[in-house]
């Protein structure tokens, strides 16, 4: 698993529905999954974040790429840089044809490794709908502890989980 950063230009092309241009900018071939309504909401949200704080772009969206043929199986990243206490929140989504094949777990491992490599990060947070059985299963075994719940304007009720950033994820 490796991540390829999704630039603002590529996100703008995806908002316009231009998979070909976005793929050229990203250097990998993207699928229709990247122009769904939910994906377009994310690209708009991240572009607004990047416009407000361009230096935070490196924390944002990346494509999750696997294999020697650069198969893009989803996207992943952090919701932003570490906050004042060193917490980062992760987010990832695997395209439906690639689910239940271990890619979410591989994506989570890579996000945890990247967070651990950042000295400013002390805690990694994941927020998950209580109905999202697959995501709840994905984080199990990684040391995440449930620390509360929150209401998200876009996603509704979410359970909040945290793990120390330096905890070594399983291979």
Tens of pLDDT, residue by residue over 132-168, are: 999 999 999 898 999 999 898 877 899 999 999 987 5
Asked if pLDDT for residue 88 goes beyond 70, the answer is yes
Can you say how many angstroms the Cα of residue 70 is from the centroid of all Cα atoms in its chain? 18
What is the model's pTM?
A: 0.86
Q: Residue 88: what are its φ and ψ, rounded to 5°?
A: -120, 145
- List the alpha helices (DSSP H) in the chain: 8-15, 19-26, 37-52, 103-116, 133-139
pLDDT at 111: 92
Q: Are 160 and 125 in contact (CB under 8 A)?
A: yes
In whole angstroms, what is the distance from residue 161 CA to residue 17 CA?
34
Sign of CA dihedral 88, 15, 73, 152: positive
């Amino acid at each position: 698993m490796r991540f390829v950063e999704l630039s603002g230009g590529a996100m703008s092309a995806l908002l316009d529905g231009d998979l070909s241009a976005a793929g050229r900018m990203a250097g990998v071939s993207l699928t229709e999954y990247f122009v769904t309504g939910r994906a377009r909401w994310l690209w708009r949200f991240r572009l607004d974040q990047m416009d407000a704080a361009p230096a935070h772009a490196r924390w944002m969206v990346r494509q999750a790429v696997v294999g020697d043929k650069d198969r893009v199986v989803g996207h992943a990243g952090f919701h932003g840089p570490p906050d004042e206490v060193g917490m980062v929140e992760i987010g990832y989504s695997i395209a439906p044809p690639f689910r239940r094949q271990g890619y979410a777990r591989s994506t989570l491992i890579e996000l945890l490794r990247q967070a651990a490599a950042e000295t400013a990060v002390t805690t990694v947070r994941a927020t998950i709908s209580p109905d999202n059985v697959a995501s709840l299963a994905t984080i199990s075994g990684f040391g995440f502890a449930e620390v509360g719940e929150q209401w998200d304007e876009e996603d509704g009720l979410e359970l909040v989980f945290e793990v120390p950033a330096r905890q070594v994820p399983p291979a």
